[in-house]
Amino acid sequence: MASDHYKLIILGAGPAGLTAGLYAARARMDHLLIEKGAEGGQILLTDWIDNYPGFPEGLSGFDLAEKMAAHAKRFDLNSMFGNVLSMDLSGKPLRLELEDSNALTCDSLIICTGAHPRPLNIPGEKELTGKGVSYCATCDAPFYRNQHVAVIGGGNTAVQEASHLTKFADKVTLIHRRDELRATKILQEKAFANPKIEFIWDTTTTAVTGTEGVEGLELLNKNGDKSTLQVEGVFILVGVLPNNEMLPLELLKADSGGFIPTDLETRTAVEGVMAAGDIRSKEVRQVINAAGEGATAVLAAENYLVNLS
């Protein structure tokens, strides 16, 4: 079994991990960034990013991911694709076990594993995923040209992606469990002004119906009224869950949602281990925060490593 040691390992290549990679590479640290899938993380699920400074016209999530990766690589980022299945953070060095049976060790670790869309866990959802149930409007919107789709959720993702879906679908019905959206006002204004978007308020979705593909939704209003809505697709955009299956949650003192608490310098409960981006326990999940935390985490790792030697 091969074993390699690094002063710093960064786990995950979303905006937090890529920024940490940029800072570590530029600081000429002995580092490795490990990514399981594509570089970019959740911004790859985002059609358009309008609030990342330096890009006044906005840019697609895909383009921002590419630019972030290219930026880190300009400073000789050392990266590999690999799937970390578990880790032992109880002693030193820190040890990561990979799917291919290799193990890597490090003196410091930055966890940037991010989050993924939360399922509703209602009947029909799992069975029809990929057959009309989707968690990514950017990926799947073009399948719904001239059709009627529903979006479930009232946060930034649901409202932003409902607007994006109107570029393809004839009609988008946004279903929210309250009578007020959580999304930021500018996204709300855009959605309210869009004649292709209709809203159903105070309503939860209790089932997705259909056999070969989605045919409709079963709805329950706050007042107890039940109804059905015929749609060809449904986008479930009701928040995120942490990508934490490889983490020792007890040792890291994970919060009740499974996110990792840190101090302001991104240091976790385990010495030498930092967490940055959407995996952190926090209120605000924006690309700009993730990037800032990635930078902070490298500075915290540098400080830790200096005091270690």
Q: Which of residues 186-245 bind ligand NAP (CB under 6 A)?
A: 204, 237-240
Spatial distance between the Cα atoms of 178 and 204, rounded to a whole number of angstroms: 9
Q: Which of 139, 170, 179, 225 is catalytic?
A: 139
140 is catalytic: yes
Among 132, 154, 233, 277, binds ligand NAP (CB under 6 A): 154
Q: Which two tokens stand for residue 214?
A: 């989605």
136 is catalytic: yes
Q: Note whether 119 binds ligand NAP by CB under 6 A.
A: no
Q: Note whether 45 binds ligand NAP by CB under 6 A.
A: no
| Residues touching ligand NAP, count (CB under 6 A) | 21
**8 Å CB contact between 220 and 206:** yes
Among 10, 13, 120, 246, binds ligand NAP (CB under 6 A): 120
Q: Note whether 182 binds ligand NAP by CB under 6 A.
A: yes
Please provide the DSSP assignment of 222-289 as one string: TTS-EEEEE-SEEEE---EEE--TTS-TTTTT--TTSPBP--TT-B-SSTTEEE-GGGBS-S---HHH
Instruction: Cite the DSSP H helix spans in the chain.
Output: 15-26, 61-74, 137-140, 156-165, 185-192, 287-308
46 or 268: whose CB is closer to ligand NAP? Answer: 46
Phi–psi pair at 129, nearest 5 degrees: -65, 130
Which residues participate in catalysis according to the annotation? 136, 139-140
- Given the rule CB under 6 A, which residues bind ligand NAP? 51, 120, 152-158, 160, 177-178, 182, 204, 237-240, 284-286
